[in-house]
């Protein structure tokens, strides 16, 4: 029999809760097809709530990013998806870049990486998308990667930091010594080609990624467009790095969730935005 506590809220026995969770997770385990009309339907392996939400929400939660990819990525382009998660924007960019283009998808979260690899293959894009499990950083070597969650599709895990992009601390649930590399070193070694378009969303490590791409950003072969998630914590350094590299802001857009918070009265300065930079 269920027991009750506090304002009539039922408290189910642990074995019942575990059973409900297992049944709910089993129902989620499927291949989900998502179609936004701008590309062939995308297929995603879904095993948990985080992956399900990623697959179903991104195409309406980040409309600005979808428009930016559609407007800036074209046939033959090289696109870096830094913080690819389960691969939504990697897949879309791969379709835009075509058979002559290339997507480089960076995803250091071990569980999410496995889903990303599967999604690339489910969509038949293994010849266009290179997946790297190393994290982009300002240096090349090994650094602690601190997991906020071990669940595939989750966010906020970071290289060498326990603070989220809004300045809140949280204890990691696991720690991995992760191979990290600067983008400039990967390009110099011939591991990847220079990018035409870059998307960076790494839950607080954005400045480290940009610092490691300085040679590319100041070269004659510099990317024509870079979108970065800019959050309150670390914003000053990030904007300074982009300015020093000769890039200026040409636009910004909010996720649907952030727009809702602003409409409810939240100060936009305390929230994140996707900022587009182009050579000044």
Distance CA 146, CA 152 (A): 14
Lowest mean pLDDT among 7-11, 34-38, 103-107: 7-11
Residue 30 lies in a domain: no
Residue 127 lies in a domain: yes
Residue 266 lies in a domain: yes
pTM for the model stands at 0.85
Specify the higher pLDDT residue, 152 or 166: 152
3-class DSSP assignment, residue 174: strand
Strand partners, 276: 227, 251
Pair of tokens at residue 192: 């990847």
Which pLDDT value is given to residue 17? 42
Burial of 100 (0-12, 13-18, 19+ CB in 10 A): exposed
Pair of tokens at residue 71: 């407007």
The β-bridge relationship of strands 273-279 and 247-253 is antiparallel
Residue 239 lies in a domain: yes
Which pLDDT value is given to residue 59? 73
Residue 29 lies in a domain: no
Residue 88 lies in a domain: yes
Distance CA 15, CA 110 (A): 29
**Average pLDDT, rounded, for the chain:** 85
Using the predicted structure, report yes or no on whether residue 189 has a pLDDT greater than 80.
yes
Residue 14 lies in a domain: no
Specify the higher pLDDT residue, 148 or 180: 180
Domain containing 226 equals 59-279
Going by the DSSP 8-state scheme, the letter that residue 167 receives in this structure is: S
| Count of residues making up the chain | 280
Q: Residue 96: which H helix or E strand, with range?
A: helix 88-97
Which pLDDT value is given to residue 270? 77
Quick: pLDDT tens for 18-74.
Answer: 444 444 444 556 788 887 776 788 889 888 888 888 888 877 788 899 999 999 999
Quick: pLDDT tens for 135-163.
Answer: 999 999 999 999 988 988 888 888 877 66
Residue 44 lies in a domain: no
Domain at 113, CATH number: 3.40.50.150
Give the total number of structural domains in the chain. Answer: 1
Going by the DSSP 8-state scheme, the letter that residue 193 receives in this structure is: P
The β-bridge relationship of strands 129-132 and 102-106 is parallel
Which pLDDT value is given to residue 172? 84
Which pLDDT value is given to residue 167? 63
Which pLDDT value is given to residue 5? 30
Quick: pLDDT tens for 213-259.
Answer: 999 999 999 999 999 999 887 788 999 999 999 999 999 998 888 88
Which pLDDT value is given to residue 1? 32
Going by the DSSP 8-state scheme, the letter that residue 257 receives in this structure is: H
Q: What Å distances lie between residue 219 and 87, 97, 193, 195, 205, CA to CA?
A: 28, 22, 13, 11, 23
Q: What Å distances lie between residue 182 and 11, 13, 90, 139, 162, CA to CA?
A: 50, 49, 20, 5, 21
Strand partners, 232: none
């Amino acid at each position: 029999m269920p027991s009750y506590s506090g304002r009539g809220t039922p408290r189910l026995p642990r074995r019942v809760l575990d059973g409900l969770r297992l049944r709910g997770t089993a129902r989620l385990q499927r291949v989900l097809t998502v179609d936004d009309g701008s590309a062939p339907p995308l297929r995603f392996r879904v095993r948990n709530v985080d992956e399900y939400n990623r697959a179903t929400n991104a195409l309406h939660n980040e409309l600005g990013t979808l428009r930016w990819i559609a407007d800036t990525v074209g046939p033959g382009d090289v696109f870096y998806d830094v913080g690819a998660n389960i691969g939504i924007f990697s897949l879309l960019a791969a379709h835009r870049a075509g058979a002559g283009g290339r997507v480089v998808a960076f995803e250091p979260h071990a569980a999410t990486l496995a889903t990303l690899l599967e999604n690339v293959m489910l969509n038949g894009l293994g010849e266009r998308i290179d997946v790297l499990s190393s994290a982009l950083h300002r240096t090349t070597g090994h650094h602690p990667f601190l997991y906020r969650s071990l669940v595939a599709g989750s966010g906020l895990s970071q290289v060498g930091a326990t603070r989220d992009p809004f300045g809140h601390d949280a204890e990691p649930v696991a720690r991995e010594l992760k191979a990290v590399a600067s983008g400039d070193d990967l390009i110099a070694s011939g591991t990847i080609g220079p990018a035409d378009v870059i998307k960076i969303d790494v839950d607080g490590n954005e400045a480290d990624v940009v610092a490691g791409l300085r040679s590319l950003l100041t070269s004659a072969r510099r990317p024509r467009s870079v979108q970065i998630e800019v959050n309150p914590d670390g914003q000053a350094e990030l904007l300074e790095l982009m300015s020093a590299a000769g890039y200026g802001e040409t636009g910004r857009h909010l996720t649907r969730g952030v727009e809702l918070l602003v409409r409810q009265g939240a100060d936009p300065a305390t929230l994140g935005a996707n900022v587009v930079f182009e050579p000044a």
